[in-house]
Chain A
Amino acid sequence: MAAVVLIVLTVAFVIVRLAPGDPASLMLGPDATPEEAAELRARLGLDRPIAVQYFTFIANAVRGDLGDSLYFNQPVTKVLALRAEPTVFLALLSLIFALIVAVPIGIYAAYRRGSFFDQSAISAAMLAASVPSFWTGLIAQRWLATEYGWFPASGYGGPDADFLSRMAYLILPSFVLGIVNSALILRFTRASMLDVLGEDYIRTARSKGMGEARVVLRHALRNAGIPIITVVGLTLALLVSGAVVTERVFNIPGMGNLVVNAVLRRDYPVIQGTLIVVAVLYVLINLVSDLLYLLVDKRVRY
């Protein structure tokens, strides 16, 4: 775990320094004078030897100091923390939405393999996976929000909006983001259930005289669980990048929007900070899915 974090930090450090040219002049843009560039270099510590820069960066990062945003003139961690809530809840809500839709449909499609239901589910999943989410987003916004007014069209509420009304702003974006991911989860659930339903122990379960629901949910689903958890972890990771597009479309002040603006503003410390946070999130997601494996598969491992 610590090793992974160190690698993540190192990569973030290197990537930002790999950008061609002098970061300071890039950040300041073409109109900056050499004096201004030199001053910024000194402020960022870029004039010091690379090894010193590296160790300072690591030491600071470990203490939770990711530097200051050039645009906001605030610590990067604070900037990120302010934008984290909408992104985290967007990812979670869309994951929950995807799970609620995809897992039951995937299970039933596998159970009724080749049926009309199954074929419709596969086609729908294919369609959902191939339509870009900005398009579904715009359509949903146009009709469900603007035309019918069922959902707020964009934003995240005013500064004094309470938690529930903030979440109301996330319903439509989560739905849009969830569609794409539910396609992936659906196909994995179906494939994994198909494998398991052909196993000998499923025949044994039936021969014991239990109902089909018990056969499928108790004996099959649990065995299909490991691949499903894996793909859910993967889609959660994908959600982070999906959030960038969705937050843009729905104008949500989250980390996705932040990083896009940071790129446009050449706010390198923020880009670096986002990179680190996202990587740490990936690691955490992996950790959680490993824990879930243990929950599903209680056998002692050697």
Chain B
Amino acid sequence: MSKHCEILEIEGLHVSFQDGHSSVTALRDVGFTIQKGKTLALVGESGSGKSVTSLAIMGLLPNNARIESRRMRFYPVADGDALDLDRLKPKTMRELRGRRIAMIFQEPMSSLNPLYSIGDQIGEMLLLHEGLDASARKNRVIEILELVEIPSAAQRYNAWPHEFSGGMRQRVMIALALVCKPSLLIADEPTTALDVTIQAQILDLMRRLQSELEMSILFITHDMGVVAEMADDVAVMYAGQIVERTDTRKLFSAPRHPYTQGLLASIPRHGRARNQRIVPIPGSVPSLRAMPPGCSFAPRCSFSETQCRVESIDLLEPAHGHLSRCIRMDKVPANG
């Protein structure tokens, strides 16, 4: 094992957005680590702050965002120096972006520039980061298009984005993200917009490329099924906080936060016992402008008590390697 086996460590990340004279807090005390070559899934409902987290890592939050963190440490290459992402000069951050940390997005249909051929757009990465000339770029682009299994890759070099289907465009996006062989890939709901069979193919492809390129993945999703399939570790997000963090097996077999349990109970699962019904979580996510004091999940939680509603709750460690932001875990039955 090398000196450190993590590639990204985040601690105490706060993000708020200034909006005129008021501000909303989108992330509170977010922290997680991603291990080398592993996949961390960041799960949560819409609006919980998953995209804000990923953009904070990329340094791509809009100008009205205020970011604070205790630590955002990235280890770009094995045994190389650690970089503090929150302290980098813009130029260094740009060199990292795309080259060491790459990103793919939810909307394959609109994430590619409609006016440039896909060869151009993928090749631009090589121009920016490796300064390759046109013919070298072309070779590399065709190589990566073949790697993401785009049929007749060489002929598609000059094709336009609108000539591709959604699934194929997501492959193009993956090719674009991976062409410089980044060590960390951030995938923000890469399959949400695709239909189920295409989704399975893309997930398959990502797993294969992950082991081929030895990269780590921050996989953002709200789909517990996808988590089960892709992730080594999971961080569950609720209303801008991480509420539970552990490895995938533990999370599915013994979730220790009522919200996670609710999430697991609300998905249809193969082999679910007949008496176990699909139970939706009652209520809805609180608005960022009207966050309840204490535990944000308390208003929707069937285990909550007075204490949950007064003071904010820290991440506790009920079992080794298992963190949960819940003070009622003794009362919470540990099953899914």
Contacts and interface: CB of A to CB of B under 8 A. Distances in A.
Nearest to A298: B115
A109 to B, nearest CB: 15
Interface in A286-300: 296-300
A209 B59 CA distance: 10
A9 to B, nearest CB: 39
Interface stretch (B81-89, B121-129, B271-279): B121-129
B128 A210 contact: yes
Interface string B124-167: 11001100000000000000000000000000000010100000
Interface in A183-212: 199-201, 203-211
B60 A203 contact: yes
B114 A299 contact: yes
Contacts of B125: 208-209
B174 to A, nearest CB: 12
Contact of A207 (B97, B110, B162): B97
B38 interface: no
B97 A201 contact: no
Nearest to B96: A209
Contacts of B98: 207-210
B115 A205 contact: no
B112 interface: yes
Contacts of A297: 115
Interface in A259-302: 296-300
A209 B115 contact: no
A219 B113 contact: yes
Contact of B105 (A200, A219, A296): A200
A209 B95 contact: yes
B94 interface: yes
A204 B129 contact: no
A206 B128 CA distance: 12
B58 interface: yes
B128 A296 contact: no
Contacts of B99: 209
Given A200-B105, A200-B107, A299-B160, A208 B114 contact: no
Nearest to A205: B113
Given A203-B105, A299-B160, A299-B162, A210 B94 contact: yes
Interface string A219-261: 1001100000000000000000000000000000000000000
B110 A206 contact: no
Contact of A208 (B107, B160, B162, B176): B176
Contact of B103 (A207, A223, A296): A207
Contact of B115 (A204, A208, A296): A296
Nearest to A225: B115
B113 A204 contact: yes
A204 to B, nearest CB: 5
A219 to B, nearest CB: 6
Nearest to B64: A114
B23 interface: no
B312 interface: no
A298 B116 CA distance: 8
A199 B17 CA distance: 20
A219 B95 CA distance: 18
Nearest to B117: A298
Contact of B111 (A204, A210, A211, A299): A204
B323 interface: no
A300 B125 CA distance: 25
A298 B120 CA distance: 13
Nearest to A296: B115
A256 to B, nearest CB: 38
A211 B94 contact: yes
A201 B111 contact: yes
B137 to A, nearest CB: 14
Contacts of A208: 97-98, 124-125, 128, 176
B119 to A, nearest CB: 13
B42 interface: no
B120 to A, nearest CB: 10
Nearest to A210: B128
A297 B161 CA distance: 13
Q: Considering residues A199, A204, A205, A209, which has the most beta carbons from chain B within 10 angstroms of its beta carbon?
A: A209
B94 A209 contact: yes
Nearest to B129: A209
Contacts of B162: 299
A210 B60 CA distance: 12
A204 B97 contact: no
Given A204-B173, A209-B95, 9 more contacts: A203-B111, A204-B176, A207-B58, A207-B103, A209-B96, A209-B99, A210-B98, A210-B128, A299-B162
In order of increasing CB-CB distance, the 4 nearest A-B pairs are: A209-B98, A209-B97, A200-B110, A208-B98
10 contacts: A201-B112, A204-B173, A205-B113, A206-B60, A206-B97, A208-B124, A210-B98, A210-B124, A210-B128, A211-B94
